[in-house]
Chain A
């Protein structure tokens, strides 16, 4: 138990569906992150939020829409995805963006786009 909980753990969706991934952290951290992990590719940082403000968007397509209503919750809204978006989506948190401590990861949401 890392203190970061992701739901759902598995999601299958068609290209026309709209779904959301949820991340919740119970660590009192102020920075939250979305990463994408695809087979045989390096870990990709997608978005960073620090104190609820988005501080980084690494050229992520607009079919991925993040939302951070407070420092404990992070969502990734998905719509009109492509099969190549199938991957493990990992949420992480840290005390604050700019510190040099470790990241605390959730167990991930395995997304399959048909």
Chain B
């Protein structure tokens, strides 16, 4: 079956530090890959996505590249802000599995001033 493994947290960084949250996946088909973000007291919202190999998703300074050869989709940001403090979820959706979404366990990021 499909699975998503992401870096365990919590991750604590100082403002303007570089962020990487690792995500690797296992899928039987050709999945689309997503990063969702959950701010305190809110639901999940899409941060970025990539639908095929070598695609780069980007939004709000965050980037992730779909690497089929390493089955990875690592999230990066060059300079984090306090407002980026949230829980980040890596996920995949696979058309060969009825479009079912599979989520990682989430990584909590805290950014300190």
Contact = CB atoms under 8 A, between A and B. Distances in A.
A6 to B, nearest CB: 8
Interface of A: 2, 4, 6, 42-43, 45, 55, 90, 92, 94, 96-108
A102 B99 contact: no
A97 B42 CA distance: 24
Interface of B: 31-32, 34, 36, 41-46, 49, 51, 89, 93-95, 98-101, 103-106
B105 A102 contact: no
A96 B44 CA distance: 19
Contacts of A94: 99
Contacts of A92: 43-44
Contacts of B41: 107
Contacts of B36: 102-103, 105
A42 B89 CA distance: 10
Q: Which of A6, A92, A97, A107 has the most CB of B within 10 A?
A: A107
A98 B104 CA distance: 20
Given A42-B106, A43-B106, A55-B98, 13 more contacts: A2-B43, A90-B43, A90-B44, A92-B43, A97-B98, A99-B95, A99-B99, A100-B31, A102-B36, A103-B46, A105-B36, A107-B41, A107-B42
Most buried by B among A2, A6, A55: A2
A42 B32 CA distance: 20
A98 B42 contact: no
B89 A43 contact: yes
